[in-house]
Amino acid sequence: MGETKFYLKKLLENIRDSYPFPLEETIVIEIIANALDSKASEIRLYSNLLNHHFTIIDNGEGMEENSLIEYHNIAASLKQRGKGIGFAGLGAKLALLISKEIITESKTRSGFNKATSWRLTGDQSAPWDYIKAPGLIKTVSGTAVQINLPATTYAFLNNSDLTKYVINHFFPLLDSKFMEKIFKKYVYKQGVTFYINDRIVTLPAEQINISNHKFFFISLKKDDYIGVGFLNKSKDALPEDLRGIAVSTFGKVIKRGWDWIGITPRNPSHITGLIEVPKLSEILTTNKIDFLKDLSSLQKYYKYRTTIQKTLTPILQEFGEITRLETKEEYDLKLIEREIDRVLSNIIYDFPELNPLLDRKTKGEVVKGIIPDPNSPPIGSMSEGVDIITGTKGGRGIGEGLPVTEGPFQGERIDPNLDPEIPGREHEGKKRKPGVMIGFEDNPQRLDLGWMVENTILINKGHPAYIKAMGNRAERFHIIFAVSVILSSFLEEEKSPQVFIGKFLSNWGKE
């Protein structure tokens, strides 16, 4: 027998409150996510309202005994990421808050087949024990989670609720194009079929029709694909849950809307789409409805975001939903862009998470560094922290960037020292400077001062503050301020947007 004991109930309630969904919906999508991580090709959901229990059974790999024991350790498992989109057993753990008993059965190809009974008995105690396997799993391997509810509990889930949860959160796995072109080739090679009370879940007719338009691939560079998606414009306004661009990873929808992608079309209620990017699973928050805000995660997210924007922009332009880049002749935008470049060059070391968002200018001061060369005498040792240079002198570099002797970014450099370890030779290039482009868009319906698409910051000409600034001949300051506000929204979570805006404006005002 095992027992999880500390302030369990409060911990579970805090996790529950981090989700924007009802608890029962959260429980369902988390258990399904774990089933997908276990390589299940069939996921069966059963709701027995008469006997007050709900069950999810999959035909995945199952858990061996050590994993089954660890599954009941709430504190440990919350720190362990799943293989793709799950955190070990989180759905079952959250179910402790509403159940009188949770039965978990695990069966593996090695012959292991055991079950446990688990319950929350107070604020600090969640005892569990082995019980006879009830035989819920009919396949050679898999996991079954049965949630037994108190008799006084209202109906937990009905067929309509379960269908809605599966479609809303795992739509890509139900779409035949995604399944055949992507998932069966690279992720779920046996496919994935959902059943609710033994009936196969399929997409409604209107969603099948939606996915028949503008299927596209997303690549960082030639033959380096990071994702795939579709986009559609409807003549009529779409239902609320279909509006905007959804982003999914391994078939689980993470976000839907326009804010996450930084683009707003003229008719947002008429546009729908979906983009699947598997590698984004590496930077999901615990509740998997958002992305992590640390430096490394932000840099990865912004890199992918910019690439997705480049793919979507011409399609939305073709739809007539966004305008092409507009510039102004009333004043010198190039001068303002140079001022912004200067400011960013002065403060970028304090905010390196912004680097993936910025166009990298190749003109800059000459810097020297050291590159490994087995034919040269030993010259230095490896250290942490690099800057970026491009261009070459005395070598065959192609402008992709070479280590130099100092810098705050993650990575290794070679430092000269008195006890040389690594052969190398001096190399010269130029620092790559951060930069942005300024454009304009007229969208009086939006309250934003502007927004960023790829490496261009679009100033909203329809904003009342911009219109007033024009009347007072203060457009230049308005643009500078708007740029600082827009960039401040891309900082690491612990950094203050107010501090960033202050540093930005202070550096701009010095010259």
Q: What is the full DSSP assignment across 320-340?
A: TSSPPPB--SSS-HHHHHHHH
Return the pLDDT at 320: 86
Mean pLDDT of 212-222: 72
Q: Please state, in angstroms and rounded to a whole number, the distance separating the CA atoms of residues 196 and 147.
A: 16
Q: Please state, in angstroms and rounded to a whole number, the distance separating the CA atoms of residues 212 and 488.
A: 38
- Check if the beta carbon of residue 320 is closer than 8 Å to that of residue 266: yes
Q: Please state, in angstroms and rounded to a whole number, the distance separating the CA atoms of residues 115 and 138.
A: 14
Q: Please state, in angstroms and rounded to a whole number, the distance separating the CA atoms of residues 252 and 36.
A: 10
Residue 164 has pLDDT above 50, yes or no: yes
Report pLDDT digits (tens) over 304-340.
888 898 888 888 888 888 866 555 554 568 888 888 9
Cβ neighbours around 436 below 10 Å, total? 21
Return the pLDDT at 119: 92
What are the distances in angstroms from CA 119 to CA 5, 136, 151, 156, 430?
Answer: 12, 19, 16, 17, 63
Residue 239 has pLDDT above 90, yes or no: no
Return the pLDDT at 52: 85
Q: Please state, in angstroms and rounded to a whole number, the distance separating the CA atoms of residues 500 and 220.
A: 29
More confident residue, 36 or 185: 36
Return the pLDDT at 211: 53
Residue 109 has pLDDT above 90, yes or no: yes
Cβ neighbours around 251 below 10 Å, total? 26
Q: Please state, in angstroms and rounded to a whole number, the distance separating the CA atoms of residues 506 and 511.
A: 10
Return the pLDDT at 213: 63
Return the pLDDT at 28: 94
Mean pLDDT of 194-208: 86
Return the pLDDT at 107: 96
Tell me the pLDDT band of 236, cut-offs 50, 70 and 90. confident
Residue 208 has pLDDT above 80, yes or no: no
Q: Please state, in angstroms and rounded to a whole number, the distance separating the CA atoms of residues 460 and 467.
A: 10
CATH number among 1.10.620.20, 3.30.565.10, 3.40.640.10, 3.40.50.300, domain 2-157: 3.30.565.10
List the single range of 136-145, 427-436, 459-468, 495-504 with lowest mean pLDDT: 427-436
381 DSSP β-pair partners: 415
Tell me the pLDDT band of 285, cut-offs 50, 70 and 90. confident
Report pLDDT digits (tens) over 111-136.
999 999 999 988 888 899 999 999 99
Return the pLDDT at 407: 46
What is the residue whose two structure tokens read 């707003």? 264
Mean pLDDT of 486-503: 92
More confident residue, 401 or 218: 218
Return the pLDDT at 363: 47
Residue 398 has pLDDT above 80, yes or no: no
Is CATH 2.60.40 the classification given to domain 202-318?
no
CATH class of 333-357+435-510: alpha beta
| Residues 35, 36, 40, 42, Cα dihedral to 10° | 80
Q: Please state, in angstroms and rounded to a whole number, the distance separating the CA atoms of residues 145 and 45.
A: 10
Mean pLDDT of 393-406: 40
Mean pLDDT of the chain: 80
- Check if the beta carbon of residue 489 is closer than 8 Å to that of residue 356: no
Integer-rounded Cα Rg, in Å, for the chain is 27
Q: Please state, in angstroms and rounded to a whole number, the distance separating the CA atoms of residues 399 and 499.
A: 34
Return the pLDDT at 330: 44
Q: What are the two backbone dihedrals, phi and then psi, of residue 56, each rounded to the nearest 5 degrees?
A: -125, 125
List the single range of 43-47, 104-108, 358-362, 505-509 with lowest mean pLDDT: 358-362
Return the pLDDT at 173: 93
Q: Do the two domains 2-157 and 202-318 of this chain adopt the same fold?
A: no
Tell me the pLDDT band of 86, cut-offs 50, 70 and 90. low
Residue 82 has pLDDT above 50, yes or no: no
Most confident stretch, 70-79, 238-247, 410-419 = 238-247
Q: Please state, in angstroms and rounded to a whole number, the distance separating the CA atoms of residues 467 and 469.
A: 5
Residue 83 has pLDDT above 60, yes or no: no
List the single range of 62-71, 353-362, 428-437 with lowest mean pLDDT: 428-437
Return the pLDDT at 405: 40
Number of helical (H) and strand (E) elements in the chain, helices listed first: 14, 24
- Check if the beta carbon of residue 26 is closer than 8 Å to that of residue 12: no
pTM to 2 decimal places: 0.71
Return the pLDDT at 426: 54
Domain segments of the chain: what residues? 2-157, 202-318, 333-357+435-510, 363-431
Mean pLDDT of 173-200: 88
Return the pLDDT at 410: 46
Return the pLDDT at 408: 45
Return the pLDDT at 367: 47
Return the pLDDT at 87: 56
Residue 429 has pLDDT above 60, yes or no: no
Tell me the pLDDT band of 282, cut-offs 50, 70 and 90. confident
Mean pLDDT of 18-30: 91
Q: What is the full DSSP assignment across 443-485?
A: -TT---SEEEETTEEEEETTSHHHHHHHHTT-HHHHHHHHHHH
Return the pLDDT at 194: 97
Residue 165 has pLDDT above 60, yes or no: yes
Specify the 3-state DSSP secondary structure of 313: helix
Return the pLDDT at 7: 76
